[in-house]
Amino acid sequence: MIRKICLLSVIFFPLFSGAQCVDEFRTADKFHIVQTEYNPVCGCDGNTYRNSDAAYWWGAINYWTSNTICGNFDIDLYPTVVTSGATVPPHLRIYMKSGGTASMAIYDTFGRFMFERLFEATQGDMIIPEADPYDIVEAQSFPYGIYILVVSVGGDRLSKKFMVVTEDN
């Protein structure tokens, strides 16, 4: 009887004791392939993940808040490897909690300015641009190399790296 009580307490204790944020029995796997949809979640660790699948695998966390971000804004760029001359450019989403202006700039690895664009958001909790996200930047027309996308909103900055490769690579 004591064994059964101990076993049940081990199984159900985390449910009633406020389970730990990061699962100590799992290792975060940043290379695990996750869903490509951008449905941001705010993880219990204070990081924004592109979706619940990414929170589970990349963050190894146990719980998150769906359909929101942790900070004032978030960016998502997919894919991060673009083929030079391809007909489909990378997919960029900017999620802002409140309205305002987002400034986007792209630099090469030498710090040379390549591209800039401004976005206006009239209300909060929206993903911009609302129209076709493929019309943002034609990165596939850049020479092959590594680039840094920087988005600024109200003095805060986030960045993502992406690479343009030739079809032979």
Residue 77 and residue 36: Cα distance in Å, rounded? 10
Same domain (yes/no): 85, 57: no
pLDDT at 133 exceeding the cut of 60? no
Tell which residue, 73, 71, 76, 72, has the closest CA to residue 39: 76
Number of domains in the chain: 2
Same domain (yes/no): 43, 120: no
- As a whole number, mean pLDDT of residues 132-149 equals 73
* β 81-83/156-165 pair status: parallel
Instruction: State the burial class of residue 78 (Cβ atoms within 10 Å of its Cβ: 0-12, 13-18, 19+).
Output: middle
Same domain (yes/no): 124, 55: no
Range of the domain at 143: 73-165
* CATH number of 92's domain: 2.60.40.2550
Quick: pLDDT tens for 7-43: 444 444 444 445 699 988 888 888 888 888 888 999 9
pTM: 0.74
